[in-house]
Amino acid sequence: MMLRIPSLLTPDEVRDCRQALEQATWQDGRTTAGSLAVKVKSNLQLPIDSPIAAQLGHLILDRLGRNPLFLSAALPLRVLPPRFNRYEGGGTYGNHIDNALFVIPGTAIKVRTDVSTTVFFSDPEEYEGGELIVEDTYGHQSVKLAAGDAIVYPGTSLHRVNPVTRGTRYASFFWTQSLVKSDEQRRLLFDLDQSIQQLTVDHPDHAKLSALSGTYHNLLRMWSEA
């Protein structure tokens, strides 16, 4: 399932993040690439131990924890601390599938990459190219969102970032281990949850609300790995 989360960050938060990112010290993104990815990766990243990355990552995780759309779609168990990248001057990242597991820095805790998330810090008119291309069963999905928006998609997806030929594309990227491993099951739960929420607004006294809510939680109990 691919889902846009609009306005995860406010315009003021985006402005403050951009100022921090523009003043940060960046390193070659290939330092975190595997043996295959290093051949197709050409970008800049903040070091994993960067204080700026930690500060901005905390902000993103705080906003995600309050965002009902993300919580409903991802059903997060663990979230890897957000990382940050920068594309310019033809920078690109060719087709790849992310590692299945990452270790949370400074710990022995592994995060399975069920759900990928990208948060945009540059508006589309600020740069040319730089589309996130995700291949799924419906074909190629091209994503280029407003600053402050986020896109959520399955970590199993083949994806790439097209070359940035003008301007600079700033973004954050990270992965979530979901309570529910299967993307298909997460999609069913998301659709059911959204229907229940809409029914609650439209018909708050509907006799079937309790039954539908019970079905949702019984499915989550059945499929959850927690």
In a shared domain, residues 172 and 188? no
CATH number, position 94: 2.60.120.620
In a shared domain, residues 70 and 174? yes
For residues 210-226, average pLDDT:
95
- Range with the lowest mean pLDDT among 114-118, 149-153, 159-163, 204-208? 204-208
In a shared domain, residues 211 and 101? no
CATH number, position 195: 4.10.860.20
Instruction: Give the confidence band of 33 by pLDDT, cuts at 50, 70, 90.
Output: low
Provide the β-strand partners of residue 196: none
For residues 17-35, average pLDDT:
89
- Is 169 labeled as ligand-binding? yes
In a shared domain, residues 11 and 50? yes
Nearest to 26 by CA among 8, 39, 42: 42
Encoding tokens for residue 29?
């993104």
Name the burial class of residue 139, with classes exposed (0-12), middle (13-18) and buried (19+) by CB atoms within 10 angstroms of its CB.
exposed
In a shared domain, residues 134 and 94? yes
Cα 140 to Cα 96: distance, rounded to the nearest angstrom = 14
In a shared domain, residues 51 and 146? yes
In a shared domain, residues 188 and 171? no
- Is 203 labeled as ligand-binding? no
In a shared domain, residues 213 and 128? no
In a shared domain, residues 156 and 218? no
Query: What residue type is 99 in one-letter code?
Result: N
Task: Give me the number of domains the chain comprises.
Answer: 2
For residues 36-65, average pLDDT:
93
Query: What residue type is 51 in one-letter code?
Result: P
- Is 160 labeled as ligand-binding? no
pLDDT tens, residue by residue, 147-191: 999 999 999 999 999 999 999 999 999 999 999 999 999 999 999
Cα 112 to Cα 119: distance, rounded to the nearest angstrom = 19
pLDDT at 34: 67
In a shared domain, residues 173 and 209? no
| Element containing residue 213 per DSSP (H, E) | helix 209-223
Q: How far apart are the first and last CA of the chain?
A: 21
- Say whether pLDDT at 38 is over 70: yes
In a shared domain, residues 153 and 188? no
Q: Which residues, at least 6 apart from 133, have a Cβ–Cβ distance to it below 8 Å?
A: 140, 141, 142, 143, 159, 160, 161, 162
pLDDT tens, residue by residue, 85-113: 999 999 999 999 999 999 999 999 999 99
Q: Which domain holds residue 215?
A: 183-223
- The position carrying tokens 């409903």 is 72
- Is 98 labeled as ligand-binding? yes
Query: What residue type is 27 in one-letter code?
Result: Q
Q: pLDDT averaged over the chain?
A: 95
In a shared domain, residues 141 and 202? no
